[in-house]
Each structure stands twice: as structure tokens, then as C-alpha cells.
Amino acid sequence: MQNTSININELSTAQLEKLLADKKKAEKQQRMAEKAAYEKDKDSTIEVLWDEANELALATARFKNKLHTIMDLQAEKLNQYGGIRGNSKGGFAIVHSSGAKNITRRRDTDRFWDERATKAVGLIRDFLSDTVKKRDAQLHDILMSFLERNVKGDLEYAKVMDLLKHEDKFNDVRWVNGLQLIKESYSQSFKAFGYEFKKRNQTGKWESLSLNFSSL
């Protein structure tokens, strides 16, 4: 087959315009074909992964319901056996007889301080700044650190408990009333039971089985 070539210098303006239009049309059709192929491949990928993720979510939900049921029964058995602390509110751990595996059920709660906490912090800060800072700057800084709020703007439970350990150190009315208000402003509500699965590694230390997708 003999190759033919076009000398654009011999073409009229109309022919050049038609040639350019044909080329643009061919390029557009090629782009549309490539886009269609990409869209088809993308949709196929989404469908496959989404279906697997959905099945995993359903399996996780089934396992969670099964876990709640079994661990509720286990709690009853353990309670009858006398293995749950009297002050337990639902949290406990069971360990395999080999000592190699355990399952822990946590009682997760939402902690909350109401508007009285703001008044309490103000009283305590005033007292610490007016009195304690002059006598013991280091102690002042330590106690003030217990009043620091987290990124959500809430007091932190562990720090407040550390602050309350110093309750008997001072008799100033601002200190006494402030700590009392903090106690009264605090409440917590049950959120859910959380579970931890652990096994011992070769060194004898506990390692957690990750059920958190993002941490794998």
C-alpha cells in the first residue's frame, strides 16, 4: 500500500479548516473513549471494594452483637463465681487458662462538667494566683496545670482527680468552694461497652489484637 502525504501548502483555507475540524473531532472522540474506559474501570473498582467493605461491616456488626451476648452471659457466670469486683459497673477481664490470651470489657462513659466548673476554676485560679504563687511558685504551676482544658475545651478527668488529691492543703474559702463546685458540676453517662483482645508475645508481654481499621 502506497503512503500518501498531504502538502498543507497546496490546501485551500476551507480544506485546512476541515482537516483541523476532523482532527479535533478525532481527538475528542479519543478523549471520550479514554474517559469512558476510565469511568468503567473506576466504577468496577468501587463496586468490588464497596461490596467487600459492606460485607465486612455487616460481619463486624454481627460479631459485636454476638460479643455483647456472650460477654453478658460471661459476666453473669463470673458474678456467680465471685470474680467481679463489688464496685464494678460492667467492666471485667477474662484470661485463658494458658495465660496466653485475654478479653477485656471496658465500660466507656462520656464525662461532662457543667457551667459550675467555670465558676470553680475562676475561684481556684484567683486563690492560687493571690496566695500560693507568692509562697511556692512551683506548687502554683503544678496545681494550675491540673486546670488546663483539652482541645475540646473540657477539663480532663485525670488532671482533676490529681487536683483533688491536694484538697486538704488549704482552707481558703475560694479553694474549698472551688473544689466543691468542681465535684458538683461533674457527671458521667454510660456510652457503650468497649472490648480489647490481647495475647502474649514471645517476650511475655501483652499485645492487642487491632480491631480498628485505621490502625492496621
Contact residues for 106 (Cβ-Cβ < 8 A; gap 6+): 91, 193, 194, 195, 196
Please give the backbone phi and psi of residue 188, each rounded to the nearest 5 degrees, phi first: -145, 150
User: Strands (DSSP E) along the chain, which ranges?
Assistant: 92-95, 101-113, 186-200, 206-208
Q: What is the pLDDT of residue 1?
A: 46
- Residue 86's pLDDT is 53
Q: 5-35: per-residue pLDDT in tens?
A: 677 777 788 888 888 898 899 999 999 999 9
- Enter the pTM of the model: 0.60
- Mean pLDDT over 43-54 rounds to 95
Task: Give yes or no for a contact between 120 and 178, defined as CB atoms under 8 angstroms apart.
Answer: yes
Q: What does the pLDDT look like over 178-198, one tens digit per residue? A: 999 999 999 989 888 899 999
| C-alpha to C-alpha distance for 36 and 33, rounded to whole angstroms | 5
**For a pLDDT cut of 90, what percent of the chain falls above it?**
65
Dist CA 22 CA 209 (whole Å): 62
